[in-house]
Structure 1
Amino acid sequence: MASYLFLCLLLFFPHHYASSGSQYSCSSLIQFKNSFSITEDASLSCDHITGLKSYPKTNSWKEGTDCCSWDGVTCDHLNAHVISLDLSCSWLYGNFPSNTTLFLLPHLQKLNLAYNDFNLSKIPSEFGRFESLIYDYKQFTIDKHAVEGFVHNLTEVRHLFLDGMDMSSVNAYVFMNLSSSLRSLSLGGCDLQGKFPKNIFDLPNLNLLNLGDNQNLNLDPLKLNRSSNLEHLDLSSMSFSTEFIDSVDNLHALKYLDLSGNSFFQGISVSITNLSSLEYLDISGANIFGGLPDSMGNLVSLKFLVLYYSNLLGPVPRSLGNLLQLTRLDLSQNQLSGQIPRSLGNLLQLTHLDLSLNQLSGQIPRSLGNLLQLTHLDLSQNQLSGQIPRSLGKLSQLTHLDSQLTHLDLSQNQLSGPIPRSLGNLLQLTHLDLSQNQLSGQISLSILNLTHLEFLDITENSLEGSIPDELRRSKCFLISNNSFNGEVSSLICNVTSLQILDLSHNNLSGTIPQCFGRLSDSLQFLNLKKNKFYGTIPPTFAKGCQLSNFNLNGNLLEGPLTPSILTCKGLEVLDLGNNDINDTFPHWLGSLPELQVLVLKSNQLHGSLCVNNSKSSPFFSKIQIFDLSSNYFSGPLPVRYINSFKAIINLEKVGSTVSYMGVNDLGGRGFYAYSIGIVMKGQDMELVKIFTMWMIIDLSSNQFEGEIPKVIGKLNLLKGLNLSHNNLNGGIPTSVGDLTSLEWLDLSSNRLSGMIPNRLADLPFLSSLNVSENELHGQIPQGKQFNTFGNDSYEGNKELCGFPVSKGFNIIEPAPPNVLEKDGSKSNISFGWKVVLIGYGCGVVLGIFVGYVVFQTGKPKWLVNLVENQHEKRRRRKSKEGNRSSRRRRI
């Protein structure tokens, strides 16, 4: 009767009992919630790894409400028991309590706590109380006893996911007692140790096994069972015998196989190619050192084949053309040779084809034009030659179909001829990279009219003609290192989405369109370096200026730079070097908060660098490269600036996350970075990328006077210092010995006196030193780096002694008449006859030898540079005058 009454109550009042059970569960969940704090940083990795948006799910958990309606909570509809809890990516932060109230939810079947921050808490062994639980934990550590506890108790478990947990203290043998009902076991990235038990492979219901990314986990050879139901097998980045692979063809049901990051020194096993049901195969990052077998064509169900960076040799097998279901083929970063097989044109389902970074040669097969589902085609960095086939645009018999291609990369090959107009048929194309080839002719207007084209890189070719006005929706337009000429039309400023514009190293002329200043509210990189632009710099910049790189180096520009550029608060690189700018130093540039590189070298700048307003804010606090060389600056060296260079004094954090300045990843390529020309260790260098830790000051070839200030020793991150060819006097301050990062130091051609401080010998990285043509005396410091410097580091200092001068030459240079420059004109600098005094010690002359030294090879390097510098300035002035004359003629 009691049983009957109970059943009746359950029948007539089910909601009452459900509500009671729900309330008990809700209270437990509230207590669990209160165990943690909520912080967004706890789930930062979620967005990057899963692509899902993290948010605080427990914010919806309110006392007095039904927890079955809470975010992340799922209940059994019949009895209101909590059966699933998904708090992944929920901003939970704190130590996971060993007595957590989660253990009061005995009916829990699914639990996901991934992508929270539990401070590497240890997982409690009480998790073994849950039966039939799907595990998916992150940020836990787990010990041997805890694993043994819940593995022993979970006799009905179907799916066990423990990826990313720290099991470094666990031996893999503890998993040998798992239930025969197990269907999924995932232990990826757990740092498991020891040998994994063989019996796991014999579990009759196992469909998924993931042991990937356990580099200290061993797997002995085993004979795989032909009756296995295994469909998903991940053994990536671990250690096992290649003999295991020889029996993998017994896994007839296998669809997914990941062996990436392992070594197969005898090549790919033929047994793999017998897996006729296989759809996914990844052996990337492996040391194969062999070729692809022709039997790869047997994998007729394959949809995904990735073998990049695997030391593959030999040709691409023609049999790959049999894989008609293939959607992705990646054989990049290998040593494959020979031609691209035409049979790849049979893969009509292919969306991604990447053969880049190999040694493939010959022409691009026209058959690739059949691949109308292709969205990414990358054949870059090979040895391909010939013209780009028109079929890549569209085959004539398929003109009614639209190609899906969005990314086309043929860069760094030996392709020649014009850019085919047919590429303009690729209506979905967003990224086109044809850089570093031998392409010629003009830019095809059909390409520039593409509606979706955002990225165009045709740098380092032999293209010519004028710059077309049509850029449509381009965000990135790179045409540097070609032979384009003519003027740049102001119509280019109609492209309001333009972010990167690089027209450098061409023969462009005329004035710079003034609208570039207004365009700066979208433009981030503007590089017009090494052209023939004349006139003034744009005087007005947009209020919302986005410029971070502004490079006008190597033109014929004149007139001042106006303070309007201060609206560009994010400006990091300003390079106006090698122009004809005639002005005083623009002190106000120091207030640009992000400026890291300032190059004003080789202009007509003059005056003092002294700052009159001592109350003004610190100058150039983030500057790393400061180059004012080859101007007409005078007065003392700028102590105020030196004291303000916080980045070089190691007071500002620099270079902490990236290796190069300004690397831009538009389109996910990381293809563009700042570039600059500097003098490094006496040599002119064109830096394609600027290393973030380069700290350089170059004030050479000016008219600075007075002493080198002692505060120079504060710049302890400085790598290069050039103060040569000035009128500096006094001694070399001993504080230079504090520049512990210094690699090159040039103080030559001044009027410095006194001794070379011995502390300079302790500079650990100093590899280039020049103190020649001064009035130094006394003993040269000995030992360490100083033993590597030759006599040319000290010549012109009559009173210096010690190695290497004692074994070299003291040089006196009387002036010969009528020395000619390269252009035949007379030079004001007279030298060429040398009296060479062979000395032993200081001032002891043992012999005299007089000889005539040919001018071009005998003149000191600094004089060569000075003469060439003057010659270059005259050339630019003549060119500017010629341009003015031509403009007058046009008027």
Structure 2
Amino acid sequence: MASYLFLCLLLIFPHRYASSLGSHSCSSLIEFKNSFSITNDASWYCDKSHPKTNSWKEGTDCCSWDGVTCDHLNAHVIALDLSCSLLFGNFPSNTTLFLLLYLQKLNLAYNDFNFSKIPSEFGRFESLVYLNLSHTWFVGEVPSQVSHLSKLVSLDLSWIYDSEQLTIDKHAVEGLVHNLTEVRHLFLDGINMSSINPHVFMNLSSSLRSLSLGGCDLQGKFSKNIFDLPNHLDLWGNQLSGQIQISLGNLLQLTQLLENLLQLTHLDLCGNQLSGQIPRSLGNLLQLTHLDLTQNQLSGQIPRSLGNFLQLAHLDLSDNQLSGQIPRSLRNLLQLTHLDLSYDQLSGQIPSSILNLTRLEDLTIAGNILEGSIPDEEIFLSQNQFSGHIKEFQSKSPELICLDNNKLQGPLPSSIFQLLNLTKLSLSSNNLSGVVELSMFSNLPNLEYLDLSYNSLSFTSNSTSTVNHTLPNLISLLLSSCNLSEFPQFLKELKSLDSLDLSYNRIEGKIPQWMQEVGNDSLSYLNVSHNSLTEVEQFPWKNIEVLDLSSNLIRGNLPIPASTINIFLISNNSFNGQVSSLICNASALKILDLSHNNLRGTIPQCFGNLSNSLQFLNLKKNKFYGMIPPTFAKGC
């Protein structure tokens, strides 16, 4: 009868009963919260972060708190998600968090635990199926007790700090492989595993679906059985060598292999030491959506079988030694959004059928020996051998146009000034010709980078026109060897300019007074070398790092740039007088070239005090005398 009454009361007042059982859990969470402060920088990796523990108030039901999930029958805390919660502080090994023995899911990712060691007490959570400690700034060694969590389905210890600070020993890895029989997702990126034999991971559970070991400094031969593993495989940024092989073996092995190949969707082997050819059998990975083989030593032709990847959205084969033509079979990749074949040794023309892939968002083929006409797409085709005229753009959507270092001819297409989304235009080092009115670029409000250097273009700048809000977002303007005879007037409006190159032009006289307002707080790079400038009064730019005035006709005393200067070049001018010791206030100076001037007097002794930074000093062809400073460092 008593048990019947208890059951009735439980059914009538379940929340009150659950609250009494869960009070201990609530107090444990409050103590855990009080171990940390809330700091905005603690979750700076997160796109969306907020202090979840601010909703945790004593005297309230913790099952309603942000990030807390309870079992509705007994009020045990079974899940805790504090990712991106701005938590900062040392993680105590005796924290009350470890009293929550019924936890099944724990996510502490994207907080800052201030270089604490990972407590071995994490091994107490025997019911845990999900554990995420990624990006939490733990250091030291991954405790072997983590491998005791035999029910884990997902374990993420990636990028806890960096590979120099977080390590894992051989026995802990063997424990993970042996004990985690249910694991489906294993992320260990950034943990130093230089002493671990990568073949140990071949013994992982057959239930594995995702394995990520990027940036772990794994060494040794690439296993041909690696494809027996998961759907999602990341091995980028290691030192794995050997060749990519898919061994078919006997009929039984072939059946199992084909089953695995039909499951693999993500393969990233970027930044290793793989060599040899890309095997044709790789085309059997029919469900692949992401393939990245960049920065290896792969050679030979791109196999036509890659056209079998009908689901592929991302393909990157850049920075290898691949040769031959781009196979036309890539036109079959109808889902492709990203294609990067840059910095290989590919030749011939770009198949037009590839350029018609409707979902392709960015195409990068820079640094090859390709030729032919330029397509109307948003692409990177720098450093090739494209010739002919740039056709009028039919699409108004391109944001990036990089065609520098080719053999293009003719005028700029008029449609280029109607690309309102354009942020970067790089056409330098071609044979482009014709007259360009610089004010026409004012139609491109989003332009941040403009490089028209080293062509045969003739530029005009209407000095009498008033241009308001011209290129408000322009950061870099590179007009070297553009037949300019004066400083372009539209520079007056560029208050946020970072880089300006007007070298190898025909600009005469002195730098105009209004130039002192151009990028006053932002300009870090200014190159006006190889002109006919005769006078400079002062350098007002507060954050200048590179200043090149070489090969002009400048007379007078040597001006002193801001203390932020790294590279200061004034050679081949007519500067005279003595060099002021104030120049030594530039404590970060790396390169100083005062050669081929009429400077006189003694060499400032403080030059020797710049030995921590100074790498190159050129004083030849002047009229210096006296003592050479004896304190120059060996590296200068």
Give the TM-score taking structure 1 as reference length: 0.62
Amino acid at match of 2:283: G
Q: Distance in 2 between matches of 1:35 and 1:381?
A: 53
Q: Which amino acid aligns with 1:333?
A: D
C-alpha displacement of 1:502: 1.8
Matched, 1:136 2:132: yes
Distance, in Å, in 2 between the alignment partners of 1:183 and 1:349 is 27
Q: Which amino acid aligns with 1:312?
A: L
Distance change (3 Å), C-alpha of 1:214 and 1:595 = closer
Question: What is the distance in 2 between the residues matched to 1:102 and 1:321?
Answer: 52
1:282 aligns with 2:268: yes
The answer to whether the 8 A contact 1:173-1:196 is kept is no
Change (3 A) 1:528 1:176: closer
* Distance apart, 1:462 and its partner CA: 0.3
Q: Could you say if the C-alpha distance between residues 593 and 189 of structure 1 is closer, same or farther in structure 2, counting changes exceeding 3 Å?
A: closer
Letter of the 1:412 partner, please give it: Q
Cα distance between partner residues in 2 of 1:711 and 1:241: 55
Match of 1:695 among 591, 615, 619: 591
Say whether the 8 Å CA contact 1:348–1:370 is kept in structure 2: no
351 and 696 in structure 1: CA distance in 2 versus 1, 3 angstrom threshold: same
Pick the aligned partner of 1:87 from 82, 89, 105.
82
Distance 1:434 1:199 in 2: 44
Deviations 1:714-748 (A, max 9, x none): 3333334444444444x224xx11121xxxxxxxx
Match of 1:504 among 480, 502, 507: 480
The whole-number CA distance in structure 2 between the counterparts of 1:124 and 1:255 is: 31
Q: Distance in 1 between matches of 2:496 and 2:108?
A: 42
Q: Give the match's secondary structure for 2:416.
A: helix
**CA distance in 2 between partners of 1:339 and 1:163 (Å):** 39
Deviations 1:670-718 (A, max 9, x none): xxxxxxxxxxxxxxxxxxxxxxxx331416422x444444444333333
Which residue of structure 2 lines up, in the alignment, with residue 484 of structure 1?
A: 457
Q: Alignment partner of 1:737: what SS?
A: coil
CA contact (8 A) 1:60 1:70 kept: yes
CA 1:699–1:565: 2 relative to 1, 3 Å: farther
- Aligned-pair distance for 1:385? 1.7
Query: Which secondary structure state, in structure 2, belongs to the residue aligned with residue 108 of structure 1?
Result: coil
Give the conservation status (yes or no) of the 8 Å contact 2:342–2:367. Answer: yes
Which whole-Å CA distance do the structure 1 matches of 2:382 and 2:520 have between them? 33
Whole-Å separation in 2 of the counterparts to 1:143 and 1:512: 59
- Deviations along 1:50-73, one digit per CA (max 9) or x if unpaired, are xx3344332332333333333322
Is the CA contact 1:123–1:142 (under 8 Å) kept in the aligned structure 2? no
Which secondary structure state, in structure 1, belongs to the residue aligned with residue 415 of structure 2? helix
1:455 aligns with 2:418: no
Q: What residue in structure 2 maps to residue 622 of structure 1?
A: 564
Contact 1:484 1:508 in 2 (8 A): no
Tell me what 1:645 maps to: 586
Which residue is equivalent to 1:268?
Answer: 245
Deviation at 1:255, TM superposition (A): 3.1
Q: Is the 8 A contact 2:37 2:87 kept in 1?
A: yes
Residue of 335, 338, 341 corresponding to 2:321: 335
Q: 2:117 matched to 1:121? A: yes
1:550-699 equivalences in 2 (<5 Å): 555-558=507-510, 561=513, 564-565=516-517, 568-583=520-535, 586-587=537-538, 589=539, 592-601=541-550, 603=552, 605-608=554-557, 620-639=562-581, 641-648=582-589, 694-698=590-594
Partner of 1:175: 176
Contact (CA 8 Å) 1:173, 1:195: kept in 2 or not?
no
Q: 2:609 maps to which residue? A: 714
Cα distance in structure 2, aligned partners of 1:579 and 1:180: 72
1:492–1:332 distance in 2 versus 1, CA, 3 Å: farther
**Shift of residue 27, structure 1, vs aligned partner:** 1.7
| Structure 2 unpaired stretches of 5+ | 161-165, 249-253
What is the identity, as a one-letter code, of the residue corresponding to 1:441?
G
Look up the match of 1:843.
Answer: none
Instruction: Map 1:155-554 onto structure 2 (within 5 A).
Output: 156-164=151-159, 166-169=166-169, 171=171, 172-175=173-176, 178=179, 180-191=181-192, 201=203, 203=205, 206-208=207-209, 210=211, 212-213=213-214, 237=218, 239=220, 242=223, 244-245=225-226, 248=227, 255-260=231-236, 261=238, 263=240, 265-271=242-248, 274=258, 275-388=261-374, 392-393=375-376, 407-421=378-392, 424-468=393-437, 469-471=439-441, 472-473=443-444, 474-489=447-462, 494-509=470-485, 511-517=486-492, 519-532=493-506
Distance 1:269 1:200 in 2: 15
Is residue 634 of structure 2 the alignment partner of residue 738 of structure 1? no
Secondary structure at the aligned position of 2:331 is classed as helix
CA contact (8 A) 1:125 1:147 kept: no
2: CA distance, partners of 1:191 / 1:634? 57
Once the two structures are TM-superposed, the CA of residue 434 in structure 1 deviates from its matched residue by: 0.9
- The Cα offsets for residues 484-522 of structure 1, whole Å up to 9 and x where unpaired, read as 01423458864333332222112344x4443321x2124
Match of 1:852 in 2: none
| Equivalent residue letter for 1:419 | I
Count of residue correspondences: 608
> C-alpha distance in 2, partners of 1:530/1:334?
35
**C-alpha deviation, 1:215, in angstroms:** 5.4
SS of the equivalent of 1:360 reads strand
**Alpha-carbon distance, 1:643 to partner:** 4.7
Q: In structure 1, what residue type is equivalent to 2:489?
A: Q
Q: How far did 1:362 drift?
A: 1.2
- Does the 8 Å CA contact 1:173/1:197 hold for their aligned counterparts? no
CA separation of 1:311/1:214 partners in 2, compared to 1, >3 Å: closer, same or farther? closer
Residue range with higher mean Cα deviation, 623-632 or 306-315: 623-632
SS for the counterpart of 2:277 is coil
Larger-Rg structure: 1
Structure 2 length as normaliser, TM-score? 0.84
Residue aligning to 1:682: none
The letter of the residue matching 1:594 is: N
Q: Equivalents in 1 of 2:122, 2:329: separation in Å?
A: 58
Q: RCO greater where, 1 or 2, for CA within 8 Å and sep 6 or more?
A: 2
Residue type of the alignment partner of 1:500: S
Change (3 A) 1:284 1:642: closer
Are the counterparts in 2 of residues 560 and 582 from structure 1 also a CA contact under 8 Å?
no
Listed one character per residue, the Cα deviations across residues 835-877 of structure 1 (whole Å, up to 9, x for unaligned) are: xxxxxxxxxxxxxxxxxxxxxxxxxxxxxxxxxxxxxxxxxxx
SS of residue matched to 2:24: helix
Cα distance change of structure 1 residues 114 and 599 upon mapping to structure 2, 3 Å threshold: same
Are the aligned partners of 2:498 and 2:522 in contact in 1 as well (CA < 8 Å)?
no
Distance 1:159 1:263, change over 3 A: closer
2:436 match: secondary structure: coil
Contact kept, 8 Å, 1:475 with 1:497, in 2: the verdict is yes
CA change 1:446–1:491 in 2 (3 A) is farther
1 CA distance for matches of 2:201 and 2:600?
Answer: 83
Please tell me the residue identity of whatever aligns with 1:26. C
Amino acid at match of 2:461: V
Q: CA 1:527/1:278 → structure 2, altered by over 3 Å: closer, same or farther?
A: same
Distance 1:302 1:365, change over 3 A: same
- C-alpha separation in 2, matches of 1:179 and 1:714: 59
- RMSD of Structure 2 on Structure 1 (CA): 3.5
One-letter code of the match for 1:596?
Answer: E
Corresponding residue SS for 1:242: coil
1:188 and 1:712 map into 2 onto residues whose CA distance is 46
Q: Which amino acid aligns with 1:462?
A: N
| Distance in structure 2 (CA, Å) of the matches to 1:619 and 1:358 | 42
